[in-house]
Structure 1
Amino acid sequence: MMKKYLTYIGLLLTIVACQDPYEVKEPVFNVVTEKSVYAVGERIRFSIEGSPDMINFYSGSFENDYAFHDKDRVYDIVPKLSFRAAKFAGNNEDCAELLYSTDFDGNYAYENVRSANWINISDRFNIPPIVGTAASFTDAGIADISDLAATGKPIYFAWYCKTNAESSRTRFQVADFNVTGEVLGNSELSGVLYSQAQLSFRWALNEAAGMQASDLPSITNTLIYWNGIFNNTTGPLKEGYAVSGSVTLSDQMNLGLDKPQVIKSIQNENMTEYFYTFNKPGEYEVAFVGYNVNFNGRKETVKKIKLTIQ
């Protein structure tokens, strides 16, 4: 009898010894709500049973939807261009034109820029006339530029600006020059593909414009500014090209993966409730993702709740 008992104890010790004390176990938890229909702005209480090491929360809203936690948001788009502009002072009404090129090679030296094949697209926009003696910006409109794309080639934009010989210079400024992607069927999802700051415009000036003692054309993250000395009545033609960085046009926009809200970290105590408020009506699938994790890895359990927000 004693021999059998010792054998049993030995087997039990062997089993315990073979178990990994650091084994990652699948989280056991649950999440419930009091009801399934709530009003916009109503505070929703999610009751949490169990205690995973970590909990991530997805509301089911745009950019916080578990359905896109491992799948990129890709939308069909129409690329469009918009900007605001101001033209003031002087008498050079034709001082600015918007161009694009598919054969510019990225060398911003003036002669090289000038020799590229630039196509004028100014007529797609409402570039303002001369107004007053100080900058007064107006929207130039928004234009479809999908036809500018060339297979396998980037495109470049350029503002060609000039002060005519024997004239008084006209100042010209551009702000909010943005290439956007308009999502087909849902304009609310449209977004900026290239901002003016990202386009990194650079001036390429002829000698007459570049040698001015003051009031040189300039560029900041927010402004393209054609300037110059006011009195050019005895001077030669001054011209320059404000050339962008390369732009790749596509018929799709990838917004990447949706990100969760981390509502419980491994350092936190047991979490028994979480509150959330929706600000738009609709059908939502809320997801709580519980994780147990250590140096051996991690395991997760997903709890989903469908809610109607009215």
Structure 2
Amino acid sequence: MNIHKYACGILLVALLSSCNKISEDVSFGVTLSPDNTYLAGDEVTFLFDGNPDYITFWSGDLGHEYKYRDRTEYAPEDIESCKIRFTVDSKYGAKYPKTLTLMATSGFPGLAGNNKDADHNLLTTFNGWETVVSQEEFPAKAGNGSTNVVTETYEKDIDVSKYASDATFAFRYQTGPLVPNESQRTWKIFGFSLETVYKNGVVYSLTAADMGFSAFDMLPQDLSPQSGNAYFNGKGMKGTWNLTDTKNIEIQGCAKTPAWENDDWLISSNLQLNGCEPDKSEVIKNINVRLDSYSHIYTVPGTYTVTFIAGNSNIYGESKVMREITFEVKSKN
């Protein structure tokens, strides 16, 4: 009886061991169809030999190259341009014309976010800011009603050599000494964005929602709803940044009374201006189908390297192979 159990145990181990690996290597080959024209706009057809469980296709097109599957940034010399864009509305505060500045820097360590004294000291002593849009460049004239506003749109080139992988942007609102019987300037910032264009045509964009803006009040008031909170960034408090809607960032100045001096920062997180999305592939076959060929249209003339990853898998493991083919696509003209 014990011998029988022992023999059954050996058999069970053997069976489990045989299931613990894929039974055979991946059999997969790729050739180009003899009917291909290799002209831009025509299909290029790839013929397959074998029936792997799955096939992943890297076309070699822009954004779909296997060699760039892990790339998350470009070198600064690969950048064609980097621009910042936004629109501002200005109203009220005719005697507070110079209250808003947009700045940029590299090397800013970021706000602690939970230590008012430390962050106040950091903003007081950090001297690496450079002006992107000065107080003089923002509208000096202001509208006088909720619908009567002065609007300006800004597009500025950013020096990527300084800020490529380490950029922080900040708006600073400063009223200076109080002006008797005068309400302070209110600003709205619409559509704040950064756009990096690379020499190969790829465009990388960031909106305000991507930039992790946070507010800091250098002169927080012990008033509701702020209650002395230097990090307050919501509605209902004059002289503080309102981040409720990042598409429409606003700072509303104080009315004629009560009024107080304001020095309020709106600071982005550390940004990567030369960032990019890793190149992507496409799964063209899974275990449920058989695929003997695949076609793709190349619209731009050039030399392409196409990569196929084919594999077999089960719950115990995976085997895969890579096949690459390089060819030239020519213009029809």
TM-score when scaled to structure 2? 0.67
Q: Amino acid of the residue matched to residue 131 of structure 2?
A: I
Matched residue of 1:75: which SS? coil
In structure 1, the gaps of 5 or more residues are 1-16
- Partner of 2:12 in structure 1? none
2:274 is the counterpart of 1:269: no
Q: Give the aligned partner of residue 185 of structure 2.
A: 170
Task: Note if 1:207 corresponds to 2:250.
Answer: no
Name the structure 1 match of 2:38: 37
Q: 2: CA distance between counterparts of 1:146 and 1:53?
A: 47
Aligned-partner SS, 1:232:
coil
Secondary structure at 1:67 match in 2:
helix
The aligned residue for residue 72 of structure 1 is 71
Structure 2 letter corresponding to 1:38: L
Q: 1:218 deviation in Å?
A: 0.3
CA contact (8 A) 1:27 1:299 kept: no
The residue aligned with 2:265 is 241
In structure 1, the partner of 2:87 is 85
Would you say the 8 A contact 1:284–1:307 is kept in 2?
Answer: yes
User: Following the alignment from structure 2 to structure 1, what is the Cα–Cα distance between the partners of residues 225 and 303?
Assistant: 63
1:115 aligned counterpart, secondary structure: helix
Runs of 4+ in 1 over 6 A off after TM superposition: none
Q: TM-score, normalised by structure 1?
A: 0.71
1:142 Cα offset (Å)? 1.9
The 1:155/1:82 distance shift into structure 2, 3 A limit, reads closer
- Partners of 2:193 and 2:44 in 1: how far apart? 39
Instruction: Name the stretch that deviates more: 158-167 or 210-219.
Output: 210-219
Deviation at 1:56, TM superposition (A): 1.2
Aligned ranges 1:1-310 → 2 under 5 Å: 22-33=22-33, 34-40=35-41, 42-69=42-69, 72=71, 75-77=74-76, 80=82, 82-90=84-92, 91=94, 92-100=96-104, 102=107, 106-108=111-113, 109=116, 111-112=120-121, 114-118=123-127, 119-123=129-133, 127-130=138-141, 132=143, 133-134=148-149, 136-144=151-159, 146-147=161-162, 156-163=168-175, 165-166=178-179, 167-178=182-193, 183=198, 186=199, 188-192=201-205, 195-205=207-217, 206-207=219-220, 214=236, 216=238, 217-219=241-243, 220-229=245-254, 231-232=255-256, 235-247=259-271, 253=274, 255=276, 257-266=278-287, 268-294=288-314, 295-310=316-331
1:159 is displaced (CA, Å) by 1.3
CA spacing shift, 1:87–1:308, aligned 2, 3 Å: same
Which amino acid letter does the alignment assign opposite residue 54 of structure 1? Y
Q: What do residues 52-90 of structure 1 show as CA deviations (whole Å, max 9, x unaligned)?
A: 221111111122123334x63753216955131313212
Deviation of residue 137 (structure 1)? 4.7
C-alpha distance in 2 between matches for 1:246 and 1:148: 10
Distance 1:244 1:127, change over 3 A: same
Q: Deviations over 1:182-225 (max 9, x none)?
A: 54xx1623524x64223322222223596689453301333431
One-letter amino acid of the structure 2 residue matched with residue 245 of structure 1: S
CA contact (8 A) 2:174 2:264 kept: yes
Q: Deviations over 1:210-248 (max 9, x none)?
A: 66894533013334311134x326733233111222346
Report the number of matched residues: 280
Q: Read off the aligned partner of 1:85 and give its amino acid letter.
A: T
Structure 1 residue 306 displacement after superposition: 1.5
SS across alignment from 2:151 = coil
- Identify if the C-alpha distance between structure 1 residues 233 and 279 changes in structure 2 by more than 3 Å, giving closer, same or farther: farther
Q: Aligned partner of 1:76: which letter?
A: A
- Mapped to 1, the partners of 2:322 and 2:311 lie a distance apart of 7
